[in-house]
Every structure is written in structure tokens, then in C-alpha cells.
Structure 1
Amino acid sequence: MTNKILILFYIIISTSFFSCSSSANDDDGEEIIDDSITEINYTVSSKVISNPERGFMHSWSVPSEGTPLNLVTLKSLTNENVTIILRLYYLDAFKDSALSDTQLNLIKTDFERLREAGIKCVLRFAYNSNETHTDASLNIIETHLDQLKPIFEDNADVIAFVQAGFIGSWGEWYYTTNNLTTLENKKAVVNKLLEVLPKEIKIQLRTPLYKQEVFNYTSAIGVDVGYETSDIARVGFHNDCFLASVDDYGTYNNVTIEKNYVSQEALFVPTGGETCPPSGVPTASCATADTEMSLLKWTYLNLDYYGPVLNVWRNNNCFTDFQKELGYRLVLKSSSFKKEASLNGTFEINTVIDNVGFAPVYNKKNTFLIFKSTVDGTTYKKALNFDIRKVIPAVNYELQETVSLSGIPSGNYELLLKIEDQYEIISDRPEYSIQLANTNTWDSTEGVNKLLHTLTIN
């Protein structure tokens, strides 16, 4: 009799164990449930994800008073997972005069089409595309920037970054015919750019030494400065001969020291550019490119130049990896949520986010916790203090905040995380919201990330 009782006891215990184990698993992530708290472990996606202000980009230049961007072409970029382009305006017809209305309208039209297509741009202006041709005087440059200021202000939402440009051939701060590469004139161009651009927009200089000279410093900025809008916190770097020689065609003077400096600064300001024909070094392997882009925190890279380097990566199966890793790639790792909350009470969000990309987010975003009724779909949006820029590569970020539930009726609510653009004109556009790199979490219609939890408000 005793043995029969023991056998029955083991059967009951075993049945209960397997039942609990089965209910603790979910197609979207493992859930371990106790009486009041749900623990969620999210599944990482292996897909290439299109997110704003990062990734491989196309580069399109246009002559003075030329043809605007093609809207159909811009819209087709989604097929390539491209969300950003370099737009280079050659102002060769205006080296001695103000910009014409036709030129200004060309730029305005481009911005309108970028916005309609859900794309952002990196801007550059130059006065020639040949090392033997002339550039413009400082006075003309400043006049042109004054003319461009209202256009920058009206279209800041679709400007990712601005390469300093204006000086020398291709706007690369070399081959000047107007003595513009003196420290005094370089400072003048940088200061004018920072003056006419909205404070939220960062510019990029061609070499790290240029920034150090302009601001008269050598130690990289830190968190006390990096997330603010002072002039020094708004200047990053572009390298147009990445991986092309020992010093990247003169990009660096003291290579090791300056790369370490860029690596530290790039926690706060962007690095991007293009490759060019290698000289004195082999074409960069996948491993070399990965190491360099990780160190220097590369955010974007030109798809159109230099082709043979890009083809090496394609042929060695790392191009897709770089599509994923350029810029930021944010991943939900886990969450711990209460299952119930009181009406007009508070709710604690406890979520761990990782950044498996090369770089952080550089432009400020607005983040919201959204409560969506499971009955009728009504949503309630609560702003978080969370600064997405602080989710830096290879460091788990613990998002812990207390959210007021005031104004939300009792009921059951799906929890969603929305990371939207700071500019209201595009804040509701899913193309400009950040998608987290997880499976079964992205709602492409609303541009929100599902946290895979339902909260009951009593």
C-alpha cells in the first residue's frame, strides 16, 4: 500500500513539473513566471535590419542647378536596406556670387523627396571636383552658408550629419586656391557651420588632427561634454580613404594615438566615409575591416566607392555582417515586469539592452513606453527619461524607470517600446523609428517594439 502511494505521488509531481515547464516557454522568448513577476528572455534576430542614420549608403553628387534626387530611386533603397545617402552639391557656378534661387530650390526639393521616401542624408558642399580647379573665398563660403541656414532649419529632420566640405577640391580640405587651409580659415569655416546648423546636427571633419587644431585640445571628450550641444561635442570625423594605406592617405599623422583618440570620441560623435584604392597595403580582409570599424565605431560607409574593396568583403561573406553592424544594432536581452499594477499607481520597467553594432546612436531620440489595450487597441503613451545614445557597443544597458499609470483605465495592456525621431514632423513615421534586433517584436505598421508582456491594471 505504501509503495502504491509513493508511485502515485511521483506521478503527480512529474505531471506538475512538465506542465509548469511547458507553460514557461513561448515562441517569442522564454518566460519564467512566479506569483507576481514575469521574466522574459528575448530571441536575437539574425536579419539585416534597416534603421535610420546608419549603414551602407549611396553617394550622389549634383552640379550647380542640376537635377533633383529621383523619388522612385529613393523609395527603392528599402530593397537594399539603405536608409542614408551622401548628397554632395557642387557650387562651381557660384564661386564669385550668391547662390541662385534655382540652386536653393534644388536643395529644398531634395529634402522634400528624402522625407517622402523615409531617407536621411549626409550633406557636403564643394566648389570643384578636380584638384587643378579653384575653390571659393571665405567671404563667399560664409555668404552661402547664411543663405542655406533657413533651409537647414526647415529640414533638420532629414539631415543625419554634415561633412564640413567647402574647402578645396571635393570639399576635402586640400588643394585650396584661396588659402583656406590655414588654421584661422579652418576655424572660421567650422564656426560658421556650427552657427548656421541647428544645434542638434553634428558635423564631420576630414581628419582628427583638424578637430584638435580647431579646438586646441588633444584628450578626447567624455560623458560630461559628449551628450551636450557645445561646439566641441558636435564635431566628428569622416575618412574618405579608409583602410587604403598605413595612414589612410594622410588621414592620420600619429596613427596609433589618433585612432585611439577617435575611438574614444566616437562614443559621442560620428565616424563614417568611404574606402579608396589601397596603396602600400593589401586590400583589407574581413577581419581587418571588422577590427578597424569596431575600434573607430563606424556608422556609415559608401556603397559606390571603392568597388574592389567592397567586392572582397562580398566574396568572403562578411558584407552582410557589416550591413548589420555598421552604426548601432540594439538588442533586447531580458525584461522583468510585474504582472499586475494598481489603477493610477506606477509601473517599473526593468529591461536589459545590448548594442552589438560598431557605434552608438548619435542623434537624440524620444523613447516611450506604450500601453495598448488588448480589448480595443487604445494606446497610452508615457515618455521615458531613457537616452538611447548611452547604449554603447558591447556594454549591457539596464533600463530601469518608474512610469506613472495616471490616466490609464483598468484593463489588460500589451507593452510596447517606441524609439522615435526627435523631430515631430517625422516622429510618427515607422521608417524613422528604431527597430530592435529581435524576433517577433517589431510592428512595422506602428514603428514600435513589442516587449512581449501583458500588464493587468486593477
Structure 2
Amino acid sequence: MKIKILIPIIFFSVITCLCCSSSGNDEEEEEVIDNSTTNITYSESSSVISNPERGFMHSWSVESEGDALNLVTLQSLKNENVSIILRLYNLSSFKNSDLSEAQLTLIETDFDRLRTAGIKCVLRFAYNENQNETDAPLNIIERHLDQLKPIFTNNADIISFVQAGFIGSWGEWYYTTNNLTTLENKQAVVNKLLEVLPKEIKIQLRTPLYKQQVFSSSTSMDASVGYGTTNIARVGFHNDCFLASSNDYGTYQDVDAEKSYISEEALYVPTGGETCPPTDIPTASCLTAENEMSFLKWTYLNLDYYGPVLNVWRNNSCFLDFQRKLGYRIILKSASLSKEASISGNFELNTSLENVGFAPVYNYKNTFLVFKSETDGTIYKKALDFDIRKVKPEASYQLTELVSLSGIPAGNYELFLKIEDQFQTLADRPEYSIQLSNSNTWDATNGMNKLLHTLIIN
């Protein structure tokens, strides 16, 4: 198949975002046609969709210089609709020394296998997995991050997010033996981590208070900051005792205020983590979990811990719903599209999208309107200004852009939306492209969403 990517010199675009509540009703596909325009209503799918960087995940911890991830196991994750894992590296053998070549090779091997399998990862590094053991001093942490920088750079495409780690047992910023939980040392670790990671990668801190302390601000970000790449715009949250107590084992100090803070921040930075044994409240019910994940905009959750909480959801028939809704779940609702256009003219893309997931997309994606020739299958890609991160949860988004048809010859063309990874290494990998949650619209071979419309260019 021939593919041509055209970034036109003359490109006009207008994006208008409209927020409204969702009706949640599935509709059959239908076309209402006048002399010049086709109006299309799309059907919503009820399937669990394995989109990148979201959903239930597995977690694998590995000891220093231990065994690499198993490729066959990673490849089998698609059968569980899992597209993301947590990889925790225990650096206990290097508390007073550089990372060995064997350790660095282990991490590189893991990334190679993740990429082969079509999976991404959340990363964390720690120096022990027992609260009675020691962690490493600050100078060792900083040296290790310098060693890891080339690996981060070379494998940024496979990293979804990085949990700050390094400090204390399990890298959870507690039980430190090297005085690392002072504000000065927490700031040093955060700043060093953000320095060595590529700007495209966001990190997560264990509590909202940590971010407020590190950046000396308790005011949540707005869009003018949140969609940027400054340090504060790259820091989200992970909660490893989700729904475990009234304050989630100390995750929150001022519970209501800090949850509201996360809810607003999480329009731009990721939240995720795992449950743990509940204490002073009943095991999380479906309704409680649904409300919390929706309010805090959860994008991923560990499948491997804590089992009894997960089983409550399985036994009460909400687990499947959480599989659908964790992270983003974007539906193509409708479109109003011209049937014909002039060669070298313009085509107006006019579609309505809705996000019925708990969270937005957090990592930038490149989006194209794709024209596929019905004659010979040649594909022409036109870049859009559209930023899918702005399709917020529980809201609609009107996508309207005027697209130049320069370079596309006369003929009949099937139209698609392609929302691909920002890294060119993954751009042509369908498993790293976003599938809209519609019936009968996914082109799995090319990783594109059918608009169910044919345009005649004459």
C-alpha cells in the first residue's frame, strides 16, 4: 500500500470545544443526506478496548541484575486487554556504588521486549522493599539518574509515566534512612528526575502534598500551564493505598481540599496506582470506587494488588465497567461532512467527540485526517491541529477544521481519523494508536478510525 504524508503549506484550522453532559445512549449508524452534505450518527461500542497508556495493568518487581521481562508473557497481555505495566527496579545492590553494566543491560532489554510486544510501562526505582531496610544517599540517587538518562532518552517512546521513587521503602517517599524526606532533598530528587527525563514524559508523586511542597503552591494548574512542559506541568500523582481508609493511609492530610486539588490537576497530569487492605472503612464498593475514580480521573490501576478489593468489583459486576472507563474512552458521536470537494481546494472536517472515560489522554498524540483512494488504496495523511488531550472526561468536543486538499489527485476517497503516537518509532504501530469506542469503525491493520464517509474530489 502506498502512503503519502502531506503537511500542506496552506493550512487553515479552527477548533471549537463545547462541553456538555453525555446522554450515554447508543445509536445505530444512519445517514441523512441532502444535496451537498452527509450527516452521520455513529454507534457506540460496549467492548473493552486496549488503548495505550491506560487501563488495568500488571506489576512486576525485579531484584538487582535480575531476570528481564518475559516476551511471551508480555505478548499474552493483549488477551487480558492490558496495554500497560508497572516495572519496579530494586537497586538494593547499588546503595553505595554506580549501577552495573548488567543492571543497565537488564533495563534496556526490558524496553526492547516491551516495544516488541506493543506494551508501554510505568517506571519506578527503589532501593529496598522492606520498611526496615536502608535506602541510598542523595548523591548516589543523582549519580544513578545520570547513568539512566541515556536509557530514558533512547526509550522515551515506551515510557508512559515515571513514579518518582528512589526515596524510602518501595520508593514511596517514606521510611527513609538517609534523611531524604526533607523538603530540600525531595526537591533535589524531583528536579533531577525531571532534568534527566525527556520533556515529553510526566512523573508522579506519592501524595498531593508533596507536589504542593516541592513547588511551593497549593493552587491547581489551568490549561495555560497544564498543556505545557514546565516542571510543574509534568508532575502528577500515584496513590498506592487507594480506597484503603478515610485518608488512604496518609495519602491525604486535608482530604477534601487535596482531592479537589487532584481533580483539577488531573485534567493535565496522570493519576493512578493500586488498592491496599482497607482499615477503618468497608472494602470499596462499586459505587464508591466509581465515584472516586471519576472524581480523581484515574487512568490506570494495578491488577495484582490488593486482591480482595478487586474481587469485590468482580463479584459485583463493575470490574468490566472499570476496564472500559479507566483512563480515556473517546466516542465518535456524529459528523457532518461534504460529499464533494474541488481538487486543491479545502475540506471541512466537522465531527463531535465525547469522552466517557474517567480521565483525559495525558501524552500528546499526532492526529491526521486520512484519505484512502478507493481506486488503488493510496493513503494521503493531512496533519490536524487537533489536540486529543483536550477531549475532557464527561464532556463533548466539537472538532472542526478546514483541511487543505493540495497534493491529493481527483478521485473517490474513504476518510479516516488516525490518532498516533507522538514518537515516530511507534507512529505506524496500530497497537500504539488510539481506537475510538465505536462499532465497525476500527481499521486494525493501519490503526485508523473510519469516518464511514466517502469524499469525491473533482
Q: TM-score, normalised by structure 2?
A: 0.94
C-alpha displacement at 1:28, in angstroms? 6.6
Q: 1:53: which partner in 2?
A: 53
Q: Deviations over 1:287-321 (max 9, x none)?
A: 00000000000000000000000000000000000
The one-letter code of the counterpart of 2:67 is T
The one-letter code of the counterpart of 1:40 is I
Larger RCO: 1 or 2 (CA < 8 Å, sep 6+): 2
C-alpha distance in 1 between matches for 2:377 and 2:403: 20
Within-5 A mapping of 1:16-95 = 29-95=29-95
Contact 1:28 1:439 in 2 (8 A): no
C-alpha displacement at 1:226, in angstroms? 0.4
Contact 1:44 1:438 in 2 (8 A): yes
Contact 1:28 1:452 in 2 (8 A): no
The one-letter code of the counterpart of 1:216 is S
SS at match of 1:377: coil
Contact 1:271 1:297 in 2 (8 A): yes
C-alpha displacement at 1:42, in angstroms? 0.3
Q: 2:17: which partner in 1?
A: none
Q: 1:397: which partner in 2?
A: 397
C-alpha distance in 2 between matches for 1:223 and 1:120: 26
Q: 1:425: which partner in 2?
A: 425
The one-letter code of the counterpart of 1:91 is L
C-alpha distance in 2 between matches for 1:53 and 1:224: 24
Q: Deviations over 1:66-114 (max 9, x none)?
A: 0000000000000000000000000000000000000000000000000
Q: Deviations over 1:345-381 (max 9, x none)?
A: 0000000000000000000000000000111111100
C-alpha distance in 2 between matches for 1:388 and 1:193: 27
Q: 2:321: which partner in 1?
A: 321
SS at match of 1:396: strand
C-alpha distance in 2 between matches for 1:73 and 1:284: 30
SS at match of 1:361: coil
C-alpha distance in 1 between matches for 2:419 and 2:209: 35
C-alpha displacement at 1:53, in angstroms? 0.2
Unaligned runs of 5+ in 1: 1-26
1:448 aligns with 2:427: no
The one-letter code of the counterpart of 1:424 is Q
C-alpha displacement at 1:151, in angstroms? 0.2
Within-5 A mapping of 1:240-279 = 240-279=240-279
Larger Rg: 1
The one-letter code of the counterpart of 2:406 is S
C-alpha distance in 2 between matches for 1:367 and 1:93: 44
C-alpha distance in 1 between matches for 2:248 and 2:121: 24
Q: 1:119: which partner in 2?
A: 119
C-alpha displacement at 1:278, in angstroms? 0.1
SS at match of 2:399: strand
- Return structure 1 stretches of 4+ with deviation > 6 angstroms: none
Q: 1:378: which partner in 2?
A: 378
C-alpha displacement at 1:283, in angstroms? 0.3
C-alpha distance in 1 between matches for 2:347 and 2:47: 32
The one-letter code of the counterpart of 1:254 is D
Within-5 A mapping of 1:232-311 = 232-311=232-311
C-alpha distance in 1 between matches for 2:72 and 2:376: 37
SS at match of 2:170: helix
Matched-pair identity in %: 74
SS at match of 1:139: helix
Q: 1:359: which partner in 2?
A: 359
1:342 aligns with 2:342: yes
C-alpha distance in 1 between matches for 2:315 and 2:374: 48
C-alpha displacement at 1:129, in angstroms? 0.5
C-alpha displacement at 1:337, in angstroms? 0.3
SS at match of 1:236: strand
C-alpha distance in 1 between matches for 2:338 and 2:248: 53
C-alpha displacement at 1:236, in angstroms? 0.1
SS at match of 1:352: strand
Contact 1:245 1:278 in 2 (8 A): yes
C-alpha distance in 2 between matches for 1:364 and 1:92: 35
C-alpha distance in 2 between matches for 1:181 and 1:58: 28
Q: Deviations over 1:145-176 (max 9, x none)?
A: 00000000000000000000000000000000
Q: 1:178: which partner in 2?
A: 178
C-alpha displacement at 1:395, in angstroms? 1.1
C-alpha distance in 2 between matches for 1:322 and 1:272: 13
SS at match of 2:425: helix
C-alpha distance in 1 between matches for 2:349 and 2:71: 41
Q: 1:24: which partner in 2?
A: none
Q: 1:153: which partner in 2?
A: 153
SS at match of 1:424: coil
Contact 1:28 1:440 in 2 (8 A): no
Q: TM-score, normalised by structure 1?
A: 0.94
Within-5 A mapping of 1:148-227 = 148-227=148-227
C-alpha displacement at 1:29, in angstroms? 1.2
Root mean square deviation, CA, Å: 0.7
SS at match of 1:238: strand
Q: 1:14: which partner in 2?
A: none
Contact 1:208 1:237 in 2 (8 A): yes
